[in-house]
Amino acid sequence: MHKYYLNHLQELEAEAIFVIREVVAQFDKPGILFSGGKDSIVVTHLAKKAFWPAKIPMPLIHIDTGHNFPETMAFRDNLVKELGVQLIVGSVEESLRKGRVKEETGINASRNALQITTLLDAIEEHKIDAAIGGARRDEEKARAKERFFSHRDDFGQWDPKNQRPELWNIFNGRKQMGEHFRVFPISNWTEMDVWNYIKEQNIAIPSLYFAHQRQVIYRDNTWLPLSEFVTLRQGESVEEKQIRFRTLGDITITGGIESDADTLEKIVAEVAAVRSTERGNRGDDKRSETSMEDRKKLGYF
């Protein structure tokens, strides 16, 4: 006897594929925001499945802060080659050179907020009308309020108090000239779902997610990777630790955790046992209680 139901990962996959296909059907120039992190890798994998045997009919868009993990860049270039898709790079360095943004100064300066301008410039330059992202509702409280199809006005801004209600699986992508949408196909996935899916589908991810030896500095309760962009502060020292990263972002603000999880099986087990959220090691979220919402309103991912 057949049982006509899907398990939870199959159902989440079917939902995400449906959403990605809706984007391609409803918009003229969609693109996938690709950070090199696991969530955007999963979204790209889902897009590959959604249009097979055709290629993914839209470009990948990478917002490059200039402060990258070299491993992420190599991974990105390989993937783009393998998929045969176009890559659009929005460069924060270039935004700085053109004077569109100014480097932050002070003790916790980062290029995190600068990405907003670069992203919006890239969207405008390439006339992108729907940018697909890997954000999930379980990640952060402002993201918990996101729609699958999230409207942005012609300044690229999000108005969380005035969002379109989203019913059943009917998505309203209607917009005026100059406006665009952000679309989040894996809204309903949790960190656990993402890892289980990566394991089940055997999806390639950057080596940074696996436990490895690395030179790190202990700062703000997390292990910050040593790189050319980090200067030691008083009392800090470089140590060699076995760590892995739970999220990947700009190298200057992404902290690692001590871990010996060097296989997907061990990572899944570790995620199941761990008692803090994955963004707990992200400096960008710690600036205030609503720092994610504040950045999102301006046009952040």
Partner 1 sequence: MQLLRFTTAGSVDDGKSTLIGRLLYDSKSIFEDQLAAVQLSSERKGLGHVDLSLLTDGLRAEREQGITIDVAYRYFATPKRKFIIADTPGHIQYTRNMVTGASTANLALILVDARNGIVEQTCRHSFIASLLQIPHLIVCINKMDLVDYAEDRFNQIVEEYTEFASKLDVTDIRYIPISALNGDNVVNRSENMDWYQGATLLNTLETIHIASDYNHIDGRFPVQTIIRPHSDEYHDYRGYAGRVAGGIFRPGDKVTVLPSGLSSKIKSIDTFGGAVEEAFPPMSVSITLEDDIDISRGDMIVKQNNQPHVSQEVDMMVCWLNNRPMQQGAKYYLRHTSREVRSVIKEVVYKIDINTLHRMEGDKEIKMNDIARVRLRTTQPLMLDAYRKNRSTGSLILVDESTNETVAAGMVVDSFNN
Query: Minimum distance from CB of 172 to partner 1 (Å)?
Result: 5
Written as one letter, the residue type at 273 is A
Going by C-alpha positions, the residue among 153, 281, 267, 263 that lies closest to residue 223 is: 281
Candidate residues 160, 220, 232, 239; the one interacting with partner 1 per rule CB under 8 A: 160
* SS3 track for 193-207: HHHHHHHHHCCCCCH
Q: Is 29 in the site for partner 1 (CB under 8 A)?
A: no
According to DSSP, residue 220 is labeled T
Burial class (CB in 10 A: 0-12, 13-18, 19+), 163: middle
Candidate residues 1, 28, 53, 99; the one interacting with partner 1 per rule CB under 8 A: 53
User: Hey, which residues does 285 pair with through a beta bridge?
Assistant: none
- Judged by phi (left if over 0) then psi (alpha if -120 to 50, else beta), residue 99 lies in left
Candidate residues 76, 152, 175, 182; the one interacting with partner 1 per rule CB under 8 A: 175
Candidate residues 1, 4, 106, 234; the one interacting with partner 1 per rule CB under 8 A: 4
Show contacts with partner 1 in window 113-142 (CB under 8 A): 137-138, 140-142
Residues binding partner 1: what is the number (CB under 8 A)? 64
Candidate residues 78, 86, 144, 269; the one interacting with partner 1 per rule CB under 8 A: 144
The first and second tokens of residue 157, run together, are: 């801004």
Contact by Cβ (8 Å): 301, 293: no
Candidate residues 108, 207, 242, 277; the one interacting with partner 1 per rule CB under 8 A: 277
Q: Provide the terminal-to-terminal Cα distance of the chain, rounded to the nearest Å.
A: 45
Q: Is 159 in the site for partner 1 (CB under 8 A)?
A: no
Q: Is 98 in the site for partner 1 (CB under 8 A)?
A: no
Binding segment (CB under 8 A) for partner 1, from list 60-68, 108-116, 204-212, 292-300: 292-300
User: Hey, which residues does 64 pair with through a beta bridge?
Assistant: 91
Q: Where on the chain is the footprint of partner 1 (CB under 8 A)?
A: 2-8, 10-15, 17-18, 21-22, 24-25, 48-55, 137-138, 140-145, 160-161, 163-170, 172, 174-176, 187-188, 190, 192-193, 274-277, 280, 289-290, 292-294
